[in-house]
Structure 1
Amino acid sequence: MSSLRHRVLAISRPLSLTIAASLLLINLGVILFGVFMRYFAGGAPIWTDELARFLIIGTVMLAAGAVWVEGGHMRVALIERLLPPALTRLLNIYQWLLTLGIALGGAWVSYRYAHSVSMFTTSGLGVSRTVPLMSLPIGFALLAWHVLWYGPAPLRVATEDAAS
């Protein structure tokens, strides 16, 4: 099982980060296009601001699970270091269940919300609001996927290299 778990994470983490990086690159292009149009062509289309906003939200949501698995998110692991091993294991299970529950709940609530606003369109892009809002349930579902496959193991701690 451990080998399967590592293989699944070895595939899904880089895939999530690659898609998120692609969205970030597209976002950079949209922002640069908007800046060029605004300052050199006399006026930027309204859709550039809206698309940039939706792309950055999508980027963050798609990368969240992979970043969680890598231990690259912001957290304070002081309590884990101070507790005895048995209580640390219990804390790890609690953190895992809590994160999994929040991710699944976020996926469910944001999915229902995204479909509840399907009759409305965005002001700049003119598409159904469901389209950009689907990045939320997809991102929460990816977070739940990564958390589920990672399991209740201790989270990685990002360490800083000491400059000497």
Structure 2
Amino acid sequence: MSFFHSRVLAISRSVSLTIASSLLLVDLAVILFGVFMRYLAGGAPIWTDELARFLIIGSVLLGAGAVWVEGGHMRVALIERLLPGQLCRLLNLYQWLLTLIIAVGAAIFSYRYAMSVSMFTSQGLGISRTIPMLSVPIGFALLAWHALWHGPAPLKTLTEDPA
């Protein structure tokens, strides 16, 4: 991977993870506010549960591409370890193409769906359902972006340290 590719990927990963972490932090604040209001003040606003749900979905989807590149997602890399070099490269190409196709397809279909629900409003927040639903196509587009920049190179594997 060239210096330019690795630099773009590093910047993109850090931006994605920063935004996802920020959403997670806001989600934590919303949940704590809801708990405080429900159990200490006598009643939580209806919007806290809905906003917390939208924020957690958004944070997971926005961070998915960066986590995929880092090899931090759940996967079993046993086959990669057992295959000879040439077959392992072919498997990496297959995994990369499959990830790209699924991510692009999911981004397109989820974007169409997000646009189709624009006339409906969310129950608690009273906003167009398109706004929170856009985190799905954006997340899949970011996954495709990260996969594209990473290329068919082998993904990092997390190894367990013997204790």
**Band of TM-score, shorter chain:** over 0.9
Q: Which amino acid aligns with 2:21?
A: A
Q: What CA deviation, in whole Å up to 9, does each residue of 1:24-57 have, x standing for no partner? A: 0000000000000001111000100000000000
Partner of 1:19: 19
Hey, what's the Cα distance between the residues in 2 that align with 1:32 and 1:94?
43
SS at match of 2:54: helix
1:27-106 alignment, distance < 5 Å: 27-106=27-106
Partner of 1:4: 4
Q: What CA deviation, in whole Å up to 9, does each residue of 1:70-118 have, x standing for no partner? A: 0000000111111111111111000000000000001000000000000
Aligned length: 163
Hey, what's the Cα distance between the residues in 2 that align with 1:16 and 1:73?
15
Aligned-pair identity (%): 77
Hey, what's the Cα distance between the residues in 2 that align with 1:70 and 1:44?
39
* Structure 1 length-normalised TM: 0.98
Hey, what's the Cα distance between the residues in 1 that align with 2:6 and 2:161?
26
> Shift of residue 125 of structure 1?
0.2
C-alpha RMSD of the superposition: 0.8
Partner of 1:120: 120
SS at match of 2:45: coil
> Shift of residue 161 of structure 1?
2.7
Partner of 1:150: 150
Specify every segment of 5 or more residues in structure 1 that has no aligned partner in the other structure, as ranges: none
Hey, what's the Cα distance between the residues in 1 that align with 2:68 and 2:2?
18
SS at match of 1:104: helix
